[in-house]
């Protein structure tokens, strides 16, 4: 990503200063990641001139690419560090995935799940074309976490961080089981109309600490531990 001279660099730097730093995003690594990842390459051609505006934009299949500020807030709340193993639900366009990949660096890994196959494939193609390789993809319902969990030899491997980028009716229970002690998850929780960004920290002895921050509006998490079916899910 770094080597390619990019005509949108100035727009992106302005986005970071005005929309992110100007509104209280202070974590240097988050600002740097969002200065680097070319958001215009994650939106359809007709939206490219608005890629660095302060808004969510439509993507395919009635889904959206989140507002830059929301991506920054979630990434900052997640407190992602280099070398971490991060699970993301809702690959969507792959933009947030790219930001996470940048944050964890070459020694870390992102595991991303998308239930709509066409979106997941497109995102994968984009990220591969950008040379981003510290990521594993899965197509299907991610509300129960990474299928079968991760294993090293015969021991389960847990995630340092989990980010859900779709609105859930409650914190999906199986995700807590896939989180390390000391690990954190960020998930929008609410109804189909609006949610609150919830941060869940897994403490020793399986205790959970939860805190809510800002209001948000995501498309629904559809699946076993989310909303039950697309036809009956509130919102769209």
Give the interface with ligand SAH as residue ranges (CB under 6 A): 63-66, 89-90, 92-93, 95-96, 113-116, 119, 141-143, 165-166, 219, 221-223, 226
Which C-beta is closer to ligand SAH: that of 115 or that of 198?
Answer: 115
Residue tagged active-site, from 59, 66, 107, 133 = 66
Which C-beta is closer to ligand SAH: that of 57 or that of 158?
Answer: 57
CB of 135 to ligand SAH, least distance (A): 13
3-state DSSP call for residue 161? strand
CB of 122 to ligand SAH, least distance (A): 10
Active-site residue flag, 143:
no
Strand extents, DSSP E, the chain: 57-58, 64-65, 85-89, 109-114, 135-139, 150-152, 155-157, 159-164, 179-190, 195-202, 208-216
Which C-beta is closer to ligand SAH: that of 104 or that of 166?
Answer: 166
CB of 34 to ligand SAH, least distance (A): 12
Catalytic residues: 66
């Amino acid at each position: 990503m770094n080597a390619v001279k990019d005509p949108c660099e100035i727009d992106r730097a302005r986005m970071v200063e005005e929309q992110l730093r100007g509104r209280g995003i202070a974590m240097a690594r988050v600002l740097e990641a969002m200065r680097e990842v070319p958001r215009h390459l994650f939106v359809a051609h007709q939206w490219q001139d608005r890629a660095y505006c302060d808004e969510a934009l439509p993507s395919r299949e009635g889904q959206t690419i989140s507002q830059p500020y929301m991506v920054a807030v979630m990434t900052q709340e997640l407190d992602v560090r280099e070398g971490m193993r991060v699970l993301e639900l809702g690959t969507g366009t792959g933009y947030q995935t790219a930001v996470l990949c940048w944050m964890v660096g070459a020694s870390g890994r992102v595991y991303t799940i998308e239930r709509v196959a066409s979106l997941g494939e497109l995102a994968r193609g984009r990220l591969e074309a950008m040379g981003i390789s510290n990521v594993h993809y899965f197509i299907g319902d991610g509300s129960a976490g990474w299928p079968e969990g991760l294993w090293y030899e015969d021991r389960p491997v847990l995630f340092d961080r989990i980010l859900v980028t779709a609105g859930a009716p409650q914190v999906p229970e199986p995700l807590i089981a896939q989180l390390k002690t000391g690990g954190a998850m960020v998930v929008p929780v609410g109804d189909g109309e609006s949610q609150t960004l919830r941060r869940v920290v897994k403490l020793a002895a399986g205790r959970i600490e939860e805190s809510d921050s800002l209001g948000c509006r995501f498309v629904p998490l559809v699946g076993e531990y989310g909303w039950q079916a697309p036809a009956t899910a509130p919102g769209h």
